Amino acid sequence: MNAIAIIEYLIVGIMILSAVLAVEWRDLLAAAVGMAAVSLFASILFFMLQAPDVAMTEAAIGAALSAAVFIFAIKRTQRFETEEEEKPGWWVRW
């Protein structure tokens, strides 16, 4: 296994980790940061797979603009996912 393969495995691993964290975090601002991280690592992967056009578009749209749009939307709504106050029945939780 050469160095580039190791770096690629590392980037894919970090990307999967940030994707899992982006859906797991209850703080939506942190989730937006996780989404931007997924975009960033996807952009690096596109670059390593020799697709610079796609990498530039992914970096410009995914990491900068869509994160900004998500953050503006969070600013105008609420920042935390709310847990239900009283426990609903099993058919809701299911």
- Shortest CA distance to 62 belongs to which of 25, 27, 37, 79? 37
Residue 94 sits in the site that holds other proteins (CB under 8 A): yes
Least distance to other proteins, CB of residue 88, Å: 13
**How many whole angstroms separate alpha carbon 55 and alpha carbon 34?**
18
Q: Which 50-79 residues touch other proteins, going by CB under 8 A? A: 52-53, 55-57, 59-61, 64-65, 68-69, 72-73, 76
Residue 12 sits in the site that holds other proteins (CB under 8 A): no
Residues 6+ apart with CB under 8 A from 63: 36, 39, 40, 43
* Interface with other proteins: number of residues (CB under 8 A): 17
